[in-house]
Amino acid sequence: MIGILDSGVGGLSVLRHIRAQLPDVGLAYLADQAHVPYGTRSLAEIRQFSEGIVRFLLAQGSQIIVVACNTASAAALTHLRGVFPQTPIVGMEPAVKPAAAHTRTGKVGVLATAGTFESPRYASLMQRYAQNIEVLEDPCLGLVGLIEAGNVAGRETAVLLRTILSPMLAAGVDTLVLGCTHYPFVEPLITQIVAQSAHKPDPFTIIDPAPAVARQTRRVWQENHSTQAPCATNEVHLFTTGNAVQMAALTKQLLGETFQVETAVWQGDILIPA
């Protein structure tokens, strides 16, 4: 089984690609909706939550972990690999490297969270890959909350995205990095806003790293488990530390499929099934 975590429903944008890559493998997904959004929390706090969630996912039978959250990866990936040395852990980072290789105007937009932008991991990423390009960053304050509320196409979300994207497009950005796993769910809206812009670049590329993360997950899974039989079950187990009924409705809206959602409860630093 593969354990997947995020602060909320964002990681489902990664889960759908992992499922396509590894249809025979069971998945356990934990949405820490009691603490969403992670993006404005301290790195230390996110590290503590992530460790508790990984323990929970291992207790459910996960053999590898995917941190399907850029903010948690930025804050906690090194820490988690130190605490769980026996467990392969796949993380994420904003796709600055492919964006730098792709842009023709030399101008790249990165949409992530404040936590990701403030992390040493992001600074190192910029140092390595963004020397010869201009990067315009936006922490998209409020966007994760709107997506968690199911508002992926409404007016409020459109107004917020237009405010974020207009200066980027006016500056000549032709490549946009979705550096938060929640944001692929508003990609259709982004595409629409860009198409309506007076500064629409041609071509305009949006980079969602989820397919690449899913391919990496398949490689890591096969390296570690190729000699074992596939999981006895290929079920998808969804857990939330928030409201299970709301999460089930939101998952149906975002993935177009019905899943049962179970509740998990924080007791101090420990997460247990309800």
Annotated catalytic residue, options 65, 69, 126, 165: 69
Nearer to ligand DGL, 149 or 171 (CB): 149
* 134 touches 108 (CB < 8 A): yes
Distance CA 195, CA 102 (A): 19
Residue 180 CB, shortest distance to ligand DGL, in Å, is 4
Distance CA 101, CA 39 (A): 27
Nearer to ligand DGL, 180 or 244 (CB): 180
Nearer to ligand DGL, 56 or 122 (CB): 122
Nearer to ligand DGL, 174 or 186 (CB): 186
Residue 6 CB, shortest distance to ligand DGL, in Å, is 5
Distance CA 48, CA 41 (A): 11
What is the DSSP code (8-state) at residue 39?
T
Whether the ω angle into residue 230 lies within 30 degrees of 0, i.e. cis, is: no
Residue ranges binding ligand DGL (CB under 6 A): 6-8, 10, 36-39, 69-71, 113, 116, 144, 180-182
Residue 269 CB, shortest distance to ligand DGL, in Å, is 19
Annotated catalytic residue, options 111, 146, 180, 238: 180
* 147 touches 78 (CB < 8 A): no
* 194 touches 204 (CB < 8 A): yes
State the burial class of residue 49 (Cβ atoms within 10 Å of its Cβ: 0-12, 13-18, 19+).
buried
Which residues partner with 135 through β-bridges?
Answer: 108
| Residue 7 CA: distances (Å) to CA of 72, 89, 97 | 8, 17, 25
| 231 is a catalytic site residue | no
Nearer to ligand DGL, 36 or 136 (CB): 36
| 180 is a catalytic site residue | yes
Residue 181 CB, shortest distance to ligand DGL, in Å, is 4
Instruction: Please give the single-letter amino acid code of residue 39.
Output: G
Residue 223 CB, shortest distance to ligand DGL, in Å, is 25
Q: How far is CA 96 from the centre of its chain?
A: 15
Q: Which residues are catalytic?
A: 69, 180
